[in-house]
Amino acid sequence: MCVCRFVVSISVYSLSARFNLLKTYSSYTAEYLVRVGGLLTWTAISTPPISKSGGTSTDYSVTLPGRRKSRKVNNFGELEMGLTSLNDTGEAMKLCVFDLRRGQTEGQELDKILFFYPADLPISTQLSVIGLSEGLITFTRIFSPDAPCEVIEAEMHSHVFYEAEPDIWMVMVVEKDKESEAIWRVDALRSILKEAHSLFVMFHGPIRSLVDREPTGGLVRTHLYYFIMDFLSAFEKPSPSGYCCWGKCCNCDFSVGKRLQLPNFRDSLKERGTVQMLTVGREAALEVQSLVRVLESCAGNANCHSLTMFQDLLVSTSLSPIDTVNLFTYAVLRLTPLALSSGVSSWTNSRKASTSCNTSAGAVLANSGTVVDQYHNSRDTSPLRNHSYPFVRPLQHSKWSKGKDGFLVTDIWGSDVNDLMPTNPTIWLHQTEEKMYLLGYQHKGLTVILLIPVSSVNGEQGLALVKQQILESASLKMFKVEEKLSRGWGGENAYHVSGYRYLLIDGDRRISRASPPGKVTTLAKDSLIALTKLREEVDLEKDRAKWDNSGREKDLQICMRAKNNAWVIARLTTGKELFMVLEKASETLLYASDALEKFSDRYCNGAFSLD
């Protein structure tokens, strides 16, 4: 292996990062690991001397190429780099969104910050986190312009990077607590950032377009603040069984009490950014196809799209994979029967409470304004002080309910001034960048979502006609489809396979299927930790394959023996992935491999067979 080693210094003054060549090392060092496209290992050596302008000088050594390895980090180094101990703040996570194109002049560095959680952290801490992040991003681009920085692994924290849009970065800093269950995969944490951004764009459009529309930043900060806070802290109690979505979906809220619950090793048999599908027979599939045709014809000649779900499982979709994932994720969070029952509320009660809710919200704004006002220097850039910016909060809890006619209603998007009827929700499609009305209809366990181009109907009046047409032409078909799907539904353990705990992923179609969480909880902790480490290794291999310009995917199989003698296996082929835990397998690897072959032949049409 060819190794290139050199040292560069990044001096962080306020928010700016500058590069200087150093000749000597300091005796005080702290090592960091930075992953860039799965190809590089970066070791940061922190030096204590403070530069003349008050910044902290930090050396970086680079090893090309190499595997990521565990290294210890000196706490002094973390503090010098502005990565203050999260124990000091009482928060186990920090999350920020910033724009590298803003705040380029001296004294305007605060303009970079579009969102920061927790918002009440000192400005110096916020600037330190973003200053370090900007410095590392700029530094890594020099040597790897096509593979952005992904993660820094320190002794006490992980720092996860995601470039959501060109020069728009999201960074998550999470605390490592050896006494808790804070063992996670980096890609699982990055998937949270990806999901938050995808959902934000679906409702509000790209962040860059909001920045350009209102250059002071007040508009985009307002939208980001409310959206991400609702995304992270929706104040929904977890289900009594400890899992949600009939054991199928991993797109759940993170809040447990006042503490955010991030994906850890116990979620290693889940995959965010995918949908979970219901397997249906031929007769039921034909009924669903007939229903979709009728639904999409109810809007006349408009180019409509639809998504059909049973319980929290996808039945059919006419959307692109990424739009399907986004809408499916939102439906599971807020629209399906289970989501509605978790925050029971009627439209009438919602309307009666609107005044008091608005008053309460106003009080929150008044009390919180001083916190977010610290982001900005000008009088009109605070999202919480300037209430003139219109915004919607689509991730609020208990804001959706089912009307008497079966249609899903909400006042999140406001209401018509004349008749006080709610304004119909709208979303943006990723593939076509088209704005669509969202119509949801629900009958028992069946949820049907119809998307109609805003440009094709005459506002709320035109939508009322479409709803009437749906009730007249499609309601009986929906009743029939729901009955057939219910008859064939096997319950929350429908996809349990005795003796196996598995996760099956189709990356091309963004579909996953896994053992029910109720069955996963029977696995030993050692098995789940081993699986997490195995998946981390697979993530690195996939990243390397993506950036080696080979133009083709590699088949891969990794087997690992856990401390409790369980077999943990990963097999990848042609865009599909299978992860499996076998706790009752025999001592031989041959037995475990044979068990995987049997699973592949019976449940995957031989997709993972070696023959």
Q: What is the mean pLDDT of residues 82-106?
A: 71
Check whether residue 148 and residue 197 sit in a common domain. Answer: yes
d(CA 59, CA 78): 13
364 or 104: which carries more pLDDT confidence?
104
Query: How many other CB atoms sit within 10 Å of the CB of residue 504?
Result: 22
116 and 189 assigned to the same domain: yes
* Weakest-pLDDT range from 80-89, 394-403, 466-475, 598-607: 80-89
Q: How far apart are CA 57 and CA 18, in angstroms?
A: 10
Mean pLDDT, the chain, whole residue set? 76
pLDDT band of 256, cuts 50, 70, 90: very low
pLDDT single digits (tens) 204-222: 999 999 999 999 999 999 9
Two tokens, residue 108: 């305007």
* Judgement on whether residues 125 and 158 belong to the same structural domain of the protein: yes
* 484 plus 511 within the same structural domain: no
Of the two residues 354 and 221, the one the predictor is more confident about is 221
For residue 433, what are the CA distances in angstroms to 202, 296, 449? Answer: 9, 19, 18
Distance separating alpha carbons of residues 325 and 329, to the nearest angstrom: 6
Collect all residues with Cβ–Cβ distance below 8 Å to 445 and sequence separation of at least 6.
310, 311, 337, 482, 485, 486, 489
Q: For position 81, what pLDDT does the model report?
A: 36
At 436 the pLDDT is 96
Within a domain: residue 11? no
Nearest Cα residue to 46 out of 132, 169, 170, 129: 132
Q: Which of 311-320, 416-425, 507-516, 586-595 has the lowest mean pLDDT?
A: 416-425
Q: Are 129 and 82 spatial neighbours (Cβ–Cβ below 8 Å)?
A: yes
- Hey, what amino acid is at 609? S
CB 558 within 8 A of CB 534: yes
Same domain membership, residue 505 and residue 551: yes
Question: Which pair of structure tokens corresponds to residue 563?
Answer: 């401390």
CA distance between the termini of the chain: 34
Interatomic CA distance for residues 310 and 336, integer angstroms: 8
**In the prediction, which pLDDT does 93 show?**
86
- Are 314 and 351 in contact, with CB atoms under 8 Å apart? no
* Average pLDDT, integer, range 3-15: 34
Per the structure block, which two tokens stand in for 297? 């014809």
Beta bridge partners of 13: 16
What proportion of the chain, given as a percentage, has pLDDT over 90? 49
Q: Which among 204, 235, 266 is the end of a domain? A: 235
CATH number at residue 425: 3.30.450.30
Helices (H) and strands (E) in the chain, counts: 15, 24
What number is the average pLDDT over the span 296-307? Answer: 91
What pLDDT score was predicted for residue 187?
93
| Whole-number Å distance between alpha carbons of 224 and 199 | 11
In a domain, 387, yes or no: no
- The three-class DSSP label of residue 458 is coil
pLDDT at 341: 82
Q: Which residues, at least 6 apart from 296, have a Cβ–Cβ distance to it below 8 Å?
A: 304, 305, 306, 318, 450
Last residue within a domain, chosen from 488, 523, 542: 488
* pLDDT confidence band for 403 (50 / 70 / 90): very high
Give the Cα separation of 516 and 344 in Å (integer).
25
Q: What pLDDT shows up at residue 340? A: 86
Of the residues 467, 488, 509, the one at which a domain ends: 488
CA distance 83 to 91: 13
Separation between Cα atoms, residue 512 and residue 506, nearest integer Å: 6
As a whole number, mean pLDDT of residues 370-375 equals: 38
Q: In this structure, what CATH number is given to the domain that contains residue 548?
A: 3.30.450
Say yes or no: 292 and 410 in one domain.
yes
541 is a domain residue:
yes
Helix or strand or coil: residue 276?
Answer: coil
Is 579 a residue whose pLDDT tops 60? Answer: yes
Residue 174 lies in a domain: yes
- Say yes or no: 175 and 313 in one domain: no
Q: Which residue has the higher pLDDT, 364 or 110?
A: 110
**Largest CA-CA distance found in the chain, in angstroms, rounded:** 80
User: Same domain, yes or no, for 140 and 222?
Assistant: yes
Please give the Cα distance from 210 to 218 (Å, whole number): 9
Residue 166 inside a domain? The answer is: yes
In angstroms, the CA 319 to CA 451 distance is 10
Q: Could you tell me which residue, 140 or 181, shows the higher pLDDT? A: 140
Question: Which among 439, 436, 438, 440 is positioned nearest to 454, based on CA atoms?
Answer: 436
Q: Which of 86-90, 133-137, 197-201 is the most confident on average?
A: 197-201
Q: Please report the pLDDT score of residue 154 as a whole number.
A: 79
Q: Are 44 and 31 in contact (CB under 8 A)?
A: yes
Residues in the chain: 611
Residue 26 lies in a domain: no
Strand partners, 442: 447
Q: Is residue 308 part of a domain?
A: yes
**pLDDT surpasses 70 at 105:** yes
DSSP state string for 553-605: PPPEEEEEE-TTS-EEEEEEETTEEEEEEESS--S-HHHHHHHHHHHHHHHST
Q: Considering only CA atoms, which of 201, 410, 168 is closest in space to residue 325? A: 201
Residue 17 has pLDDT above 80, yes or no: no
C-alpha 514/C-alpha 577 separation (Å) is 12
For the chain, how many structural domains are there in total? 3
CB 69: neighbour CB atoms within 10 A? 10
Residues 475, 549, single domain; the answer is: no
Phi, psi for 373 (deg, rounded to 5): -60, -25
What domain range is 289 assigned to? 275-342+395-488
Confidence grade of residue 389 (pLDDT, cut at 50, 70, 90)? low
What element of type H or E holds 542?
A: helix 525-547
**Cis amide linkage into residue 263, ω under 30° from 0:** no
- Please give the residue that has the higher pLDDT: either 494 or 372: 494
Please report, for the domain that includes residue 195, its CATH number. Answer: 3.30.450.70
| pLDDT at res. 35 | 56
Q: What is the pLDDT of residues 36-93, one digit of tens each?
A: 555 444 444 333 333 333 333 333 333 333 333 333 333 333 333 333 333 344 467 8
Write down the pLDDT at residue 509: 92
233 neighbors 119 (Cβ within 8 angstroms): no
468 and 536 share a domain? no
Q: Burial of 587 by CB count in 10 Å (0-12 exposed, 13-18 middle, 19+ buried)?
A: exposed
Structural domain includes residue 259: no
Alpha-carbon distances of 394 from 148, 223, 313, 333, 433, rounded to whole Å: 31, 11, 21, 10, 19
- 284 and 328 housed in the same domain: yes
Note whether 190 and 222 are same-domain residues: yes
